[in-house]
Amino acid sequence: MAKVLTSKEENYAQWYNDLVLKSGLAENSAVRGCMVIKPYGYAIWEKMKEELDRRFKETGHENAYFPLFIPKSFFSREANHVEGFAKECAVVTHYRLKTDKETGEIIVDPEAKLEEELIVRPTSETIIWNTYKNWIQSYRDLPLLINQWANVVRWEMRTRLFLRTTEFLWQEGHTAHATRKEAEDETMQMVGVYAEFAEKFLGIPVLVGYKTESEKFAGAVETMTLEALMQDGKALQAGTSHFLGQNFAKAFDVQFTNKDGKLDYVWATSWGMTTRMIGALIMAHSDNNGLILPPRVAPIQVVIVPIYKGSEKSPPIAEAALKIKAQLTALGISVKFDDRDTHKPGWKFAEYELKGVPLRIAIGPRDIEKGTIELARRDTLEKTILPQEGIATHIAALLDEIQETIYQKALDFRSKNTHRVENWEELVDVLENKGGFALAHWDGTKESEDRIKETKATIRCLPLDGEKELGKCVVSGKPSSQRIVIAKAY
């Protein structure tokens, strides 16, 4: 098989880009920084969406849709928010084009200038809280548990497919509550939903924790984050859940009458996960042959490739294939029977390896004689000859096993690449030579955090389940009661 990807060892960034392009997930578009998500990439996003949406609805949330555009003045209402979001964004200034009479060219009609510029949403807190103002009068209207599936735009200068693009797809939850505790519980619940989704569905182990003041969401009181470790030893923020306090309620004057008949400001959360997770999925599991997809998120879970002798199709092979396909489909497994005669079996093998299909079945003339098939696992590349009889139940169990194996492998990788560091030299050694997560003591000051940032790494989170342990800050030597996680990150 010809090598189609740059190897990870040679150039990790190039390997990633090759893989996204060659496996047909996405490509750059004619519009700077915006990607085209191709059908195979979009099919993965659909699986993610469906699973997340199910989990959101199970926890009582409903979907709604708010405008793409946000009046410029809305951003100024929440002081921190405007600093974080109103800067690098797409600004709509006009609403009409016209044909220039002299040149015949299409130009922006200067007479169609908007009174107030509109911003293409980078996130929707402002427009949503402006709307909630009319929806919430009393505690009876609370909680309001709403999610939106949408596209958002943040003008990025340096973009990478899925990881950082000017336009991306995401969901954003925006909830309103009568009490601080309810909103804090919601923040925690949703980071939990994300963590379970990442681990059980995508096979990506995540650390859950709090962001530092300097790293939290612009406008939040507290930001919770999921941090995943990629195969090159860099961290990736996989989702965030924000406790917004009463900041947006105050900015948009959203008050309600509580059970005691008194007016109070509403408590808020917001939480989001994006198409960036496709990038995380790729970088957490894949190898130099292509994608490795955990079965639960794989658009095609099993592919059947017939091995015909010469160019003639063989009816017994096709029959056996279709019979197995029907058995697998009945078990809820998604199967593709690739019966095309335009491509040879070897080409197909490489193609489905590249696309990360978890299991491949090959059936040739000798299999028909013997009642067997050849089964190949994408994750381990193991091949086995097995009887056709009972193959569907075997495969159903094997898919679960593969899901677990992929997760365990990523978990082992993370364990091996998580280093306890006791002083500055050890921290720098991890960041510069070893990669991975450094667990270090920190004194909680901005000064020490800034010093850490000079290494180009950041504090990823203060782990939620980190054990209390007395120690000394790796920067200042001052006392600290808990280790934090430091890493270079995407």
Tokens of 219: 């406008």
C-alpha angle with apex 438: 436 to 439, nearest 5 degrees? Answer: 140
The total of other beta-carbon atoms located within 10 Å of residue 235's CB is: 24
Nearer to a second copy, 266 or 452 (CB): 266
For residue 72, the minimal CB distance to a second copy (Å) is: 6
Least distance from a second copy to the Cβ atom of residue 170, Å: 12
143 cis-preceded (ω within 30 degrees of 0): yes
Q: Least distance from C-beta 111 to a second copy, angstroms?
A: 13
437, 460 contact by CB (below 8 A) = yes
Site of interaction with a second copy (CB under 8 A): 27, 29-31, 34-39, 41-43, 45-46, 62-76, 82, 86-98, 105-106, 108, 117-120, 127, 130-131, 134, 140, 146, 150-151, 153, 155, 167, 169, 342
Cα 440 to Cα 204: distance, rounded to the nearest angstrom: 23
- Contacts with 396 (C-beta within 8 Å, 6 or more apart), sequence order: 328, 331, 333
In terms of CB distance, is 131 or 458 closer to a second copy?
A: 131
Question: DSSP state, 310?
Answer: T
Residue 128 CB, shortest distance to a second copy, in Å, is 9
- Can you tell me the distance from the alpha carbon of 268 to that of 219, in angstroms, rounded to the nearest whole number? 11
Q: Shortest approach of a second copy to residue 211 CB, angstroms? A: 25
What does the alpha-carbon distance between residue 25 and residue 14 come to, in Å, rounded to a whole number?
A: 15
Shortest spacing between CB 292 and a second copy, in angstroms: 22
Tokens of 123: 């996130």
Question: Would you state the torsion angle of the CA atoms of residues 442, 446, 450, 452, taken in this order, to the nearest 10 degrees?
Answer: 10
CB-based contact 417:437 (threshold 8 Å): yes
Q: Which is nearer to a second copy, 76 or 408 (CB)?
A: 76
Q: How far is the CB of 94 from a second copy (least distance, A)?
A: 4
Closer to a second copy by CB, 104 or 315: give it: 104
205 or 279, CB closer to a second copy? 279
Nearer of residues 120 and 183 to a second copy, judged by Cβ: 120
Task: Decide whether 98 or 416 has the Cβ nearer to a second copy.
Answer: 98
